[in-house]
Every structure is written in structure tokens, then in C-alpha cells.
């Protein structure tokens, strides 16, 4: 075997680990089932030269200096502020919900009273989760939370995840807080940016090292086998870093882990702007979950054209025509118990490392994937 490491999956987790290992003079092969690199951050130029993201909208944002310092070695960061809305009862309101939302759905006197109560109750805080609001002992706050939950969080969560919100891990509901001001950006991290040349170009730079090779259109599971304490690739023992769905790796021996998948329907429109912001959620629409306008992600002058993507959510099924890519782990008490069995079983194989959203069965943001990969490298291979 001419490689020291084989990394399964040409996504962000695999790319970061490949780069760190290559810089330590390890020889690395990345194998990717799909026909392109960059994982779910893969982007490309569509019609009218509009930069599109094949697997849904991504932006890089972080509060971690080490993440920012590492990833900006491989791209020119262009400052970008993500703005989103949700359509509730026919009204476009900012998400995360903020004081403008209160002004839109309450009378002037009621709105002023509610904002005053929120400031006092959560003094000094910039935001609060809907879970906290729902558990408040202040009637007006609790009523506001129930309004948001029934109009947005419940229908959107049920549509996005395919289960009742009560069954989903609370960490999912906490991802989109309520902002206690008129701040109208989606993230409030120290750093938020888009790579100047896009995510695919960033990934090429990340993996552009003489000690890294990448092969696409290869299913690593056809080459992987196991003995008592090692994982083998083409019958040989080699360090394996696996970033894919962990239940597939072990042939579903402890059961199927639930993942959600997405389908996108793209429409090119001969208008400069379709919606006010890049991403608009539609919790009360029956079928699709949100619309992304890619000429706003980032802002692009496309000669009077734009492209929007309608996003649909469904249960992952690798044999499906529509939902055959796993995107998000569905975090419930039951699914996390199943994952723990896979995690414990994986530890018997000395040369196997799991990393990434699918392999770790965690809902990571991009910066969390980078940080996780850097931490694994530091713990296992940093000298």
C-alpha cells in the first residue's frame, strides 16, 4: 500500500485531515463516491454564470480564531452577512425572529410591552432559545413563544425532519434563537464570509498538496473489509478515516440510523431579484421548506437574471430517486442510542477514525466540522 492514510469522503472533514496529515509528510488518498470534490459544499457556475451550491446554501462563520486562521489559508475571505426570512401568515419576517417580528404581529402598545418584558427578563442577553421562552413563567413571554412555535417551529420542524418537534433533540430547536433586538442577520459570529472563488475552489486549494491524491466515483465500501481488530482496504491494513454514514460502514448491524435528505428544484428567472433576502423559509406551505436565491449568495450581478432553488425534505433512502443523499442526522433519543452502539463497536478497530457530520452523527456547522477535524489530528497525530 503506497498510502499511509485512506480518507473516505472528499468533504470538508476529510479535506482538513488530509491537509494536516500531508503537511506531516504522510501520504494520503481521498476516495469519493460522487463525481466531484468538496462534499456538500460543492458549488459550480450555472446558467447566466450564476454561482450555485448543489446541496443547499452554505456560508462560513465562526467565533474560533484557529478555525478562521486555518481555513483562510486556502481562500480569500469576502465578508458576507447572511439574511433570512420566514413567511408567517403571509408576512415576511426576519429569521431569527427579532423585535421587528413582534412589531409585525402585535399592536403598538402590546409590542412595546412585550419587548420591555423580554429586555428585563433576559437582561444583558442578545438572544434566547425558543425552548427557554416556552418554559418561561412569565405569561406574555410564554404566549409569544407558543405563537412562534405553532406558526413556525412546529410546522417547519415537522416538515424538515419528518417527525413531531417533541421527538427531536432540543439542540435542533435551539439552533435558531430569538434575537432580543432589531438585529436582522442570521449569524452573529466574529467571522462570517464567503470564499472569493467559491467553496469548490477553496477545497482544491485545501487538498492541493503533493502528498494528497483524490479519486472520485469510487465506492470505498466495495473495498473495505474487517478482521478482528483492524479495518482493511483491498485486503491490506492501512489507516482509515471514514466520514460517511456509519451504519452503512458496518452493514446496519445495529439497525438503520435515520438521516434526512433534500431535493432541489432550480428555476432561472429573467428578473434581478426574486425575494428580499437570500433564504426565505415557508413553514406553512405544504410541500417545500424554503427558497434560496443564489444571486444573493453571495451578491452577484448576473445580467438581469437570477436563480432560485425550491428545497424539499424527505427521509434518506440510498435507493430513492429523490432523496438518495444523506444530509442531516435525525437526532432523537432512540437514534442516539443506536449510534452509541456503532461508536462503541468502531473502537475495536485500531486503525479506524470516524469524523464528520454523518460519521459522528452530529448536526455540525462548517466551522464545527473544521474544529472537530483539527482536534482529531491534534489528539492522534500531532507530534
Q: Residue 296 carries which DSSP code?
A: B
The predicted-structure confidence for 105-159, as pLDDT tens digits, reads as follows: 999 999 999 999 999 999 989 999 999 999 999 999 999 999 999 999 999 999 9
When the pLDDT of each residue in the chain is averaged and rounded to a whole number, the result is 96
The predicted-structure confidence for 187-225, as pLDDT tens digits, reads as follows: 999 999 999 999 999 999 999 999 999 999 999 999 999
| Cis peptide bond upstream of 175, omega within 30 | no
Phi first, then psi: give them for residue 103, nearest 5 degrees: -60, -35
Using the structure block, give the residue that is written with the C-alpha cell 501520504.
27
Q: What is d(CA 186, CA 58) in angstroms, rounded to the nearest whole number?
A: 12
Are β-strands 28-32 and 5-8 bridged in parallel, bridged antiparallel, or unpaired? parallel
User: Could you tell me which of 316, 319, 382, 327 has the C-alpha nearest to residue 356?
Assistant: 327
The predicted-structure confidence for 274-324, as pLDDT tens digits, reads as follows: 999 999 999 999 999 999 999 999 999 999 999 999 999 999 999 999 999
User: Could you tell me which of 357, 298, 329 has the C-alpha nearest to residue 53?
Assistant: 298
Angle subtended by helix axes 12-22 and 366-380, to nearest 10: 30
Judge whether 245 and 259 are in contact, CB under 8 Å.
yes
Average pLDDT over residues 70-97: 97
Q: Could you tell me the pTM of the whole model? A: 0.95
Q: What is d(CA 373, CA 153) in angstroms, rounded to the nearest whole number?
A: 31
**With 0-12 CB in 10 A as exposed, 13-18 as middle and 19+ as buried, what is 379?**
exposed
Amino acid at each position: 500500500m503506497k498510502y499511509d492514510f485512506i480518507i473516505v469522503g472528499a468533504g470538508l472533514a476529510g479535506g482538513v485531515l488530509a491537509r494536516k496529515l500531508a503537511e506531516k509528510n504522510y501520504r494520503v488518498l481521498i476516495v469519493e463516491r460522487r463525481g466531484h470534490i468538496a462534499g456538500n459544499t460543492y458549488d459550480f457556475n450555472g446558467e447566466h454564470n450564476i454561482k450555485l451550491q448543489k446541496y443547499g446554501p452554505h456560508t462560513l462563520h465562526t467565533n474560533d480564531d484557529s478555525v478562521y486562521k486555518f481555513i483562510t489559508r486556502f481562500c480569500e475571505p469576502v465578508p458576507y452577512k447572511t439574511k433570512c426570512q420566514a413567511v408567517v401568515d403571509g408576512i415576511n419576517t426576519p429569521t431569527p425572529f427579532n423585535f421587528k417580528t413582534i412589531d409585525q404581529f402585535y399592536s403598538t402598545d402590546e409590542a412595546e410591552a412585550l419587548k420591555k418584558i423580554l429586555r428585563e427578563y433576559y437582561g444583558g442577553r442578545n438572544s434566547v432559545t425558543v425552548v427557554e421562552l416556552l418554559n418561561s413563567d412569565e405569561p406574555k413571554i410564554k404566549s409569544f413563544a407558543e405563537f412562534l412555535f405553532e406558526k413556525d417551529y412546529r410546522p417547519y420542524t415537522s416538515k424538515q425532519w419528518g417527525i413531531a418537534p417533541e421527538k427531536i433533540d432540543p439542540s435542533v430547536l435551539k439552533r435558531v434563537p430569538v434575537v432580543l433586538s432589531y438585529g436582522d442577520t442570521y449569524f452573529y459570529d466574529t467571522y462570517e464570509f464567503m470564499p472569493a472563488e467559491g467553496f469548490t475552489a477553496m477545497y482544491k486549494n485545501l487538498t492541493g498538496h503533493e502528498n494528497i491524491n483524490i479519486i472520485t466515483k469510487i465506492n470505498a465500501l466495495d473495498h473495505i473489509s474487517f478482521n478482528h481488530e483492524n479495518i482493511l482496504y483491498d485486503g491490506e491494513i492501512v489507516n482509515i478515516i471514514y466520514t460517511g454514514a456509519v451504519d452503512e460502514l458496518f452493514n446496519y448491524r445495529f439497525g438503520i440510523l435515520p438521516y434526512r435528505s433534500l431535493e432541489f428544484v432550480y428555476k432561472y428567472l429573467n428578473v434581478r431579484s426574486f425575494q428580499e433576502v437570500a433564504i426565505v423559509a415557508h413553514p406553512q406551505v405544504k410541500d417545500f421548506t424554503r427558497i434560496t436565491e443564489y444571486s444573493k449568495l453571495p451578491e452577484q450581478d448576473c445580467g438581469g437574471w437570477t436563480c432560485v432553488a425550491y428545497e424539499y425534505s424527505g427521509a434518506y433512502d440510498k435507493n430513492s430517486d429523490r432523496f438518495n443523499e444523506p444530509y442531516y442526522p435525525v437526532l432523537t433519543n432512540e437514534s442516539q442510542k443506536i449510534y452509541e452502539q456503532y461508536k462503541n463497536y468502531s473502537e475495536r478497530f485500531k486503525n479506524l477514525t470516524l469524523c464528520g457530520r454523518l460519521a459522528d452523527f452530529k448536526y455540525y456547522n462548517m466551522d464545527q466540522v473544521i474544529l472537530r477535524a483539527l482536534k482529531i489530528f491534534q489528539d492522534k497525530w500531532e507530534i
